[in-house]
Amino acid sequence: MSPVRVAVLISGSGSNLQAIIDKIEKNEINGELVVVISNKENAYGLERAKNHNIEGLLIDSKTVDHHEYNRLILSAVKERNIELVVLAGYLRILDKEFIEAYKDRIINIHPSLIPSFCGKGFYGLKVHQSAVEYGVKISGATVHFVDEKADNGPIILQKAISLDFDDTAESLQRKILAVEHELLPEAVKLFCEKKLKVIGRKVSICK
């Protein structure tokens, strides 16, 4: 089976990107990471791509309007015959045209157990701060397919972790990031093995 052609979209350091790169290089994922696209010029994830001889592409979201920005990204992935788009710490909302073009072929990682602490405005440290302030006993990470609403698509994988009484937003972020580095590559692996099937709001994982 030919490797699945993958694009990863980032906005920052790209630690989840690195987790995917590591698994692909160990031949644990039947995928080819074709391009890493960043909407921010100083995103370290572009350097990670360069270090592994992967094409890095900057499409700066500050220089064009929302519609044009999404058009440029869609053109970039189509030109490279991308089959799977992975959002790894990507802080932009994709538009309807992009999502329709890649229906059930875009996956995202979110640092909470959806539907808790998710949706518009919940990103980065704010997610963990909200969980700590609420006093929840568990949180975790979720990988899901992307639809037109933020953090709303069918859930692929989730994993929970326990909070300690003295956890801060920062310490919780570190705990959950370790979980993200497990879950996102696993979801990519399952997709590349054609083991994921979306049925309504549920995702069936074939054995």
Q: Of all residues in the chain, what percent carry a pLDDT higher than 90?
A: 80
Predicted structure pTM score:
0.94
Q: What is the pLDDT of residue 160?
A: 97
66 is catalytic: no
- CA distances to 51, 89, 122, 148, 182 from 47, rounded to whole Å, are 6, 15, 27, 30, 22
Q: What is the pLDDT of residue 143?
A: 98
Q: What is the pLDDT of residue 82?
A: 98
Q: What is the pLDDT of residue 182?
A: 97
* Structural domain 4-205, CATH architecture: 3-Layer(aba) Sandwich (3.40)
The domains of the chain are located at 4-205
Phi first, then psi: give them for residue 2, nearest 5 degrees. Answer: -65, 145
Contact residues for 102 (Cβ-Cβ < 8 A; gap 6+): 77, 85
Q: What is the pLDDT of residue 84?
A: 98
* Residue numbers of the chain with a pLDDT score lower than 50: none
- Kindly name the residue from 66, 67, 110, 128 that is annotated as catalytic: 110
